[in-house]
Amino acid sequence: MIAKSKYKTKQREILLDYLKTVPGKHFTAGDICEYFRSQGASIGQSTVYRQLEELVNEGVINKYVLDPTGPACFEYMAEDDHCEGEVCFHCKCEKCGKLIHMHCDELIEIQQHLSAEHQFKLDPMRTVFYGLCEECSEK
């Protein structure tokens, strides 16, 4: 599952360096391109897309499906958020867009339930719970 890229290129390095500065934040491929363009340290957009895909496969970043019309959303997973044995769930507020990280045993039960009763192996890295956060639901 974790397949490291074979070469360590400069583009990959500066991309990773940047990603480490925005843990837990969401960004699109376009955001990345624009950022590097503004920095003068440009990386070709194909490379951005290819590296992001690579990093998703390696489990370094996650890809979220937020809106089929708009661009895909990525998120860098910080080391301490990587949860070795722990499973990490995400809730996204449909109104304010806030992303909530969640480590909860009860949610792990869902995983087991889906597996035992429905023969479905849930992938917590890709699954996002949509709804309203506390603040937005109060309004």
Q: Which residues bind DNA (CB under 7 A)?
A: 5-12, 28-30, 42-47, 49-51, 53, 68-72
Identity at 32, one-letter amino acid code: I
The entry of its own copies, DNA, none near residue 137 (CB within 5 to 8 angstroms by kind) is: its own copies
DSSP label at residue 120? -
Point out which residues pair with 102 in neighbouring strands: 89
23 binds, options DNA, its own copies, none, Cβ within 5 to 8 A by partner type: none
Spatial contact of 62 and 71, defined as CB atoms under 8 Å apart:
no
Residue 11 contacts which entry, DNA, its own copies, none (Cβ below 5-8 A, type-dependent): DNA
d(CA 126, CA 120): 14
- Residues 61 to 120 in contact with its own copies, rule: CB under 8 A: 65-73, 91, 94, 100, 102, 104, 106-107, 110, 113-114, 117-120
Are the beta carbons of 66 and 92 closer than 8 angstroms?
yes
